[in-house]
Structure formats: structure tokens, C-alpha cells
Homo-oligomer: A and B are copies of this chain.
Amino acid sequence: MSFFDIPAGYRFTGMASGIKKSGKLDLALIYSNQPARVAGVFTRNKVVAAPLQLTQPRVTAGFCQAVLVNSGNANACTGEAGLQIARETSAILARELSIAEDLVAVASTGVIGVQMPIAPFAQGIPKLVKTLAADQVTVVAEAIMTTDAFTKVASAKGDGYSVLGLAKGAGMIHPNMATMLGFVMTDAKVAPELLDSALRRAVKNSFNSITVDGDTSTNDLVLLLANGAAGGEEIQPGSEVAECFCQYLDRVLLDLAKMIVRDGEGASKLVEIRVTGAASEEEARTVAKSVATSSLVKTAFFGEDANWGRIIAAVGYSGIEVDQNKIDIRFNQILVVRNGLSTGPELEAEATDVLKLDEFVVSIELNQGEAVSSYYTSDLGYEYIKINADYRT
């Protein structure tokens, strides 16, 4: 049924519970046959949705067996009533699955500030648990969608174990507002401190290279579950096996992150902004982010205009000390700027052909060090406005 590597010991399901008036799938369940170790990365927004307030301490405690996710209502800015709903849904699920309540994680995505009804959960959850199956991965991926145009699933097969990731999110101009949910499951047996550091590293180079660190929505959440069902030795931090595990995890998360950019609301292009020759990785990252988030740069991509002037201006206002006379800029292999000056109309015309591609790399060489970093972005077109102006109507 599935083209993905499904880790052992997990089951999945989803349903249309009625939260979405459209009747689309809106309630998803991920279940591990045994309690899994869990690590999580949570929104840094000061306004935190109710389900995250409930889930965060449970994840910190280290174990999780079931993840319940709804779309259509974020249960954010809903006060004590919203928190009560989150608690009730968790309690209903724990009862139906006969597991401890603190092994349940809940997450929500959708409109902010609307009270969440309990009925869809009360009526839906008993049915939901009956349909759990190992091959229902894509149903979960579909049930967590909001403005997403397609489901996002990625996987990798390690030595005796698998890593499977599901995500929800559509890139935006100000990516900090795109609620991003990510759920990663592995059957590897992983030492808890490794689980946490591996997730943080993978998130930094994937989801946090499309969204802005610290600037996240009220509901952002990435969970990594490791149930150990694959058996074998526990993977310890610092080992070679650990580095392999991290690389598989990195790859799955980067694949998902690129899907999110590709699904940018109204986006038609996936563009890597690769900064090289920076004095430090932090500086490379700051410059890449400045360019990747510039609306003028992104509209130029949409217009298929090799407008390097907007790129160099975004480099200049990134706040990093740069020498404009040392900057080289390439669209794929085409050098359009050398030492801060145009290489001429012929190369710019060639670069325009690169802009017509669905996917390309803008390389910015600062020539002031060795550090490198990439951000991933999309073009900005009419569809973004259309989707976001009408989102609630």
C-alpha cells in the first residue's frame, strides 16, 4: 500500500470528525504499540496554544504512546476553556486506548481564537481507535492539512531501523506564521539525550532554515518518537551509529522542509539561498535568511527576473558587516555579480533562463571567511494574497 519505510510497532489513522465544515479529514491519530521515548521542539511564540501547554510537560517527561492531532481549529487564544477541551480530548483518547493519560500528546492547527467544540472528539475518538493500521500513514498526513496543497511524508531506511516523518505546513512570506507540525517516528532504540540533540540538530537545518528561529506560530510542534521496536543495542550519543541515525533524521526532515517550501502558499519555485565565504556559520545564516525572506527578492523570482540588485541589497541590510566589493552572486552556475559589479547583460540573460526553472540555487559568496549556510525559500505570487486574504471566509 505504501512507498514509505514504515517503522515497526506504529499504527496510524484519520477521520472527518466534523471540525472542518468542509467534511474533509480533520482528526489524526498516531499510536505506538509500546510507550516510545519522545523528544520535542515547541513554538517559541509567547502566545502558546492550549494543546501545546498540555503536551509540553508530558514530552519533557520523556515518553509518549499516542499523538492526537486535529486540523481546522488551532485551539489558540481560547483561554481556560480551550485548555479544558485539550485535557478532555486527551482523557477520552487515553480511556479508549487504555493507556496512561500522560502518554498522550495533543496538537491542533487551524484558525486562532475560536472555541473548540468537544463533540467531534467525543463522538470521533471511539471510532478512530478502531481503524488504526500500519499502512494508514498518508491518511494522517492528509488529516493534519490546513492550507497545504499536498500531503508531506518522507522516510529513510537505516541499518535495521526506519525513520518516517509526516509534516503539515505551507511556507509563507513571513514564515513565522505558518503553523508547522512535524511527527517523526522511528523503531530504533535511541538513548534519550541523543534523541533530543538529534532532533534539535535536524530541526535547525530543516524547519528552522525555512522558518525563523524564535518567530513561530502559536501551535508549532515537532515530535520525534522512538519505540525501539526494531530491537538491537540502544544507540548512544557520540557513536558512529548515532551519526548515521542523525544523518537519516536530517535527510527526512530536510525532505519535509523542502516540501513545505514547495507548498508555499501560492509558490511555484523552490529556491535555495546558499551563502558561502562568511566569517561564521551564524553570519552565513543571517545573510541567507535576510535574502530568503525578502519579499522583493521573492517577487522577482515570481517574475523570473534575475534582479541581483534586490539580492545584494538584502545582503547589505542583513546587519552583517560585508564588503560590497567582494560579493559574487550566481544563479546556479551563472555568475551575474563579481566583486559587487554586474558581469554584464549576456550572463544576466543566461541567468534569466535559470529563473525559469522550478528549482534553482542562488549562491552568494562573501569572500570573507569559510563558513556556509543555506535557507530555502519560494517565489511570491498572486496566489499568496488570494489564499491569505480569504482564509477565514
Contact = CB atoms under 8 A, between A and B. Distances in A.
A299 B385 contact: yes
Contacts of A380: 385
A344 to B, nearest CB: 10
Contacts of A176: 317
A26 to B, nearest CB: 18
A271 to B, nearest CB: 15
Given A216-B317, A310-B112, A294 B392 contact: no
A309 interface: yes
A316 B44 CA distance: 9
A293 B321 CA distance: 24
B342 A114 contact: yes
Contact of A389 (B47, B303, B342): B303
A76 B309 CA distance: 8
Interface in A355-393: 380-382, 384-386, 388-393
B388 A381 contact: no
A130 interface: no
Stoichiometry, as copies per complex, reads: 2
A362 B77 CA distance: 18
Interface string A306-333: 0111101111111111101100000000
A137 B83 CA distance: 61
B296 A172 contact: yes
Nearest to A340: B77
A354 to B, nearest CB: 16
Contacts of A236: none
A299 B215 contact: no
A108 interface: no
Contacts of A74: 309
Interface residues of A, number: 68
A316 B153 CA distance: 30
B312 A47 contact: yes
A280 interface: no
Contacts of A388: 295-296, 299-300, 303
Contact of A313 (B45, B316, B384): B45
Nearest to A216: B317
A284 to B, nearest CB: 15
B174 A316 contact: no
A288 to B, nearest CB: 15
Contacts of A162: none
Contacts of A214: 317, 319
B309 A112 contact: yes
A177 interface: yes
Contacts of A190: none
Contacts of A391: 300, 303, 305, 307
A192 to B, nearest CB: 29
Contacts of A138: none
A320 B343 CA distance: 44
Interface in A140-155: none
Given A177-B294, A315-B47, A389 B299 contact: yes
A324 B77 contact: yes
Contact of A173 (B44, B173, B342): B173
A322 to B, nearest CB: 5
5 contacts: A47-B340, A74-B309, A76-B313, A174-B294, A177-B310
Closest 8 CB pairs of A and B: A112-B309, A47-B316, A303-B389, A299-B388, A173-B295, A45-B316, A113-B309, A46-B316
